[in-house]
């Protein structure tokens, strides 16, 4: 029995520290020019944990490791390129000044009280993350168990 192609797997880096969240301005469609979490597609032969750290570094120049899962997001229609499943990770690392790279036109920290409109379903992801991430002195750490989002 042949199987239909399934959704593509993506990862997003949700890094909240010192009351700020790290975002990138997208340099390519879809949502070109809009703000989003650093992230992208998982490559063949790559773990999701390695992919989220790689994407974060490529798009912001910063280095961090996944500290837990914010949630799994898979609502149909969430990505105009087709079906995707995203694993959003809380990130842990040393806060520094980001620089846009790869397909991110710009990267910057935003105060949580002043977050711009976000691409895709990233406002939903941020809302979920705010329930499970506690800002710390330059790092983030899990405070409660992750919740699953979408299906």
pLDDT tens per residue across span 86-135: 999 999 999 999 999 988 999 999 999 999 999 999 999 999 999 864 44
Q: Is 59 a catalytic residue?
A: no
Q: Which of 43, 49, 59, 106 is catalytic?
A: 106
The answer to whether residues 31 and 120 touch, using CB atoms and an 8 Å cutoff, is yes
No. of H helices and E strands in the chain? Answer: 2, 10
Q: Which two tokens stand for residue 33?
A: 């020019």
Query: Do residues 26 and 103 make contact, with C-beta atoms less than 8 angstroms apart?
Result: yes
Backbone φ and ψ of 64, nearest 5°: -155, 165
Domains by residue range for the chain, with CATH? 8-139 (3.90.79.10)
The DSSP letter of residue 112 is G
pLDDT tens for 71-82 read 999 999 999 999
């Amino acid at each position: 029995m042949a199987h239909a192609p399934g959704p593509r797997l993506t990862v997003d880096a949700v890094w909240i520290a010192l009351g700020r969240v790290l975002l990138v301005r997208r340099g390519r469609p879809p949502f070109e020019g809009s703000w989003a979490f650093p992230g992208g597609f998982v490559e063949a032969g790559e773990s999701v944990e390695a992919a989220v750290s790689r994407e974060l570094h490529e798009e912001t120049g910063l280095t961090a490791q996944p500290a837990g899962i914010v949630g799994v997001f898979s609502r149909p229609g969430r990505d105009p390129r087709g079906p995707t499943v995203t694993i959003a990770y809380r990130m842990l690392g040393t806060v520094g000044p980001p620089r846009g790279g790869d397909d991110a036109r710009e990267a910057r920290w935003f105060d949580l009280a002043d977050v711009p409109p976000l691409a895709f379903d990233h406002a939903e992801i941020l809302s979920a993350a705010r329930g499970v991430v506690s800002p710390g002195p330059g790092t983030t750490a899990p405070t409660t168990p992750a919740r699953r989002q979408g299906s």
